[in-house]
């Protein structure tokens, strides 16, 4: 057994070595030194292209809005800004169009809340249930019960049971999937594109020399597809590598949770890392990883990329406080798109892509007004005006 004095000396030596490395690392906390028009790896979009967005206008025409519908939204967990965003945005839309609306908090599935929450929604006999961020494989039996009751369950950013990555093989589809974009319609394609976009920014910002620590959410297939997208982009960069992936599930999250302990240890073990990939804004903000990076004295020597574009994350970018960029996606647009999906379903019309995409945000590009979540610039994209007009509402 090592003596306490030996352990203490070793810890001091490691801390000193890390300090030397950080002091010697060139500033890489922004993409300012990178050429926005240059391709740093073949097959990777330039910074200029990433800033320009993959969004396009929502559908301009559609069936007349069905009045007086009763809708229940099962949220993946209202304590997380990423889960709460679409639910709260839809609440405003429902009030605007005169639909009855209720949010059930899935509380991250703790104490089987996803299953009980879906059954609670079914018992209320709504016209439709909307869920967000909960894979079909997490609640298959309640989804079958909803199907038997004739209640459609509209999915936002969730994988269905017919997904080819499903453990044990795919089975019947139980969700009505909102279509995001003509180029990536499904949730699987959407998350893959998110990961590809995140890694593309890192490749450009580090000028093709990214040494990466990343978190990897393993609680559902969303994380698998996002990681696959990152890997596909990084495979195109000859001098980029992932030195550590910190795996976690929802129950391990929080300011002092297992995720933080794992990430803190990983940060110390890899002083050579100059980049970080974070799956969601909440990892950077409410889970405290950006603060951890800043407290470690590495906010000025790392490119840190998150994904969602909520107001608190954008503030970290403004303050240069452990987050460099975010892959902005509009939760407001997802809510409008889900309402349009339901309305087409109620009218017996085919579903269509909603135009939802990504727009990279950093300190010099695409920041929203202070305190505001990311939403597409208006003009050219007027979400409320376009959707209401398409539904026959002035």
Cβ-based neighbour number of residue 236 at 10 Å: 18
Phi and psi at residue 105, to the nearest 5°? -85, 115
- Whether the full predicted model's pTM is greater than 0.75, yes or no, is yes
Query: What are the DSSP calls for 48-71, one per residue?
Result: HHHHH-S--PPPS--PPPPSS-EE
| Domain spans of the chain, in order of start | 70-183+332-351
> Which tens digit of pLDDT belongs to each residue from 267-292?
999 999 999 999 999 999 999 999 99
CA-CA-CA-CA torsion sign (268, 270, 276, 279): negative
320, 368 Cβ separation under 8 angstroms: no
103, 89 Cβ separation under 8 angstroms: no
pLDDT of 28: 59
pLDDT of 10: 38
pLDDT of 74: 98
Token duo for residue 220: 């559902």
Q: Which residue has the tokens 């069936």?
A: 63
228 CB-contact burial (10 Å; exposed 0-12 / middle 13-18 / buried 19+): middle
Distance CA 354, CA 55 (A): 9
CA distances (Å), origin 195, targets 283, 307, 371, 381:
15, 9, 25, 24
Beta strands in 221-375 (DSSP E): 241-248, 275-277, 303-308, 325-328, 359-362
Distance CA 154, CA 345 (A): 10
What are the residue ranges in the chain where pLDDT is below 50?
1-27
Q: Which residue has the tokens 């049971």?
A: 161
Distance CA 341, CA 155 (A): 10
Q: At what angle do helices 221-234 and 187-205 cross, to 10 degrees?
A: 40
pLDDT of 204: 98
Q: Is CATH 3.40.50.2300 correct for 70-183+332-351?
A: yes
pLDDT of 29: 60
Token duo for residue 254: 């929080």
Q: At what angle do helices 383-390 and 331-346 cross, to 10 degrees?
A: 0
Distance CA 193, CA 185 (A): 11
């Amino acid at each position: 057994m090592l003596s306490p004095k030996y352990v203490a000396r070793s810890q001091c030596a490691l801390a000193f070595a890390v300090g030397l490395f950080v002091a010697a690392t060139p500033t890489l906390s922004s993409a300012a030194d990178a050429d926005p028009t240059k391709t740093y790896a073949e097959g990777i979009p330039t910074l200029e292209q990433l800033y320009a967005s993959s969004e396009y206008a929502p559908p301009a025409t559609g069936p007349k809005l069905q009045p007086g519908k009763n809708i229940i939204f099962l949220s993946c967990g209202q304590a997380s800004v990423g889960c709460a965003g679409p639910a709260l945005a839809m609440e405003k839309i429902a009030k605007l169009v005169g639909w009855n609306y209720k949010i059930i908090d899935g509380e991250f599935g703790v104490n089987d809340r996803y299953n009980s929450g879906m059954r609670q929604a079914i018992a209320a006999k709504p016209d439709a249930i909307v869920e967000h961020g909960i894979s079909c494989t997490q609640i298959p039996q309640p989804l079958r019960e909803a199907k038997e009751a004739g209640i459609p369950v509209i999915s936002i950013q969730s994988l269905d049971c017919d997904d080819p990555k499903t453990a044990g093989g795919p089975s019947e589809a139980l969700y009505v999937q909102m279509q995001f974009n003509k180029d990536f319609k499904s949730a699987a394609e959407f998350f893959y594109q998110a990961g590809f976009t995140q890694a593309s920014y890192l490749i450009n910002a580090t000028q093709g020399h990214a040494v990466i620590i990343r978190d990897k959410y393993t609680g559902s297939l969303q994380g698998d597809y996002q990681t696959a997208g990152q890997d596909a982009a990084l495979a195109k960069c000859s001098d980029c590598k992932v030195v550590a992936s910190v795996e976690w599930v929802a129950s391990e999250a929080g300011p002092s949770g297992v995720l933080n302990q794992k990430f803190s240890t990983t940060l110390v073990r890899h002083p050579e890392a100059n980049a970080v990939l974070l799956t969601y804004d909440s990892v950077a903000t409410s889970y405290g990883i950006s603060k951890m990076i800043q407290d470690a004295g590495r906010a000025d020597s790392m490119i840190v990329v998150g994904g969602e574009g909520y107001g608190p994350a954008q503030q970290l970018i403004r303050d240069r406080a452990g987050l460099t960029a975010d892959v902005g996606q509009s939760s407001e647009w997802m809510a409008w798109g889900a309402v349009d999906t339901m309305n087409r379903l109620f009218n017996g019309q085919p579903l269509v892509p909603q135009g939802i995409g990504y727009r990279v945000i950093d300190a010099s590009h695409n920041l929203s007004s202070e305190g505001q979540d990311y939403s597409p610039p208006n003009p050219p994209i007027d979400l409320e005006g376009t959707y209401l007009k398409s539904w026959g509402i002035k």
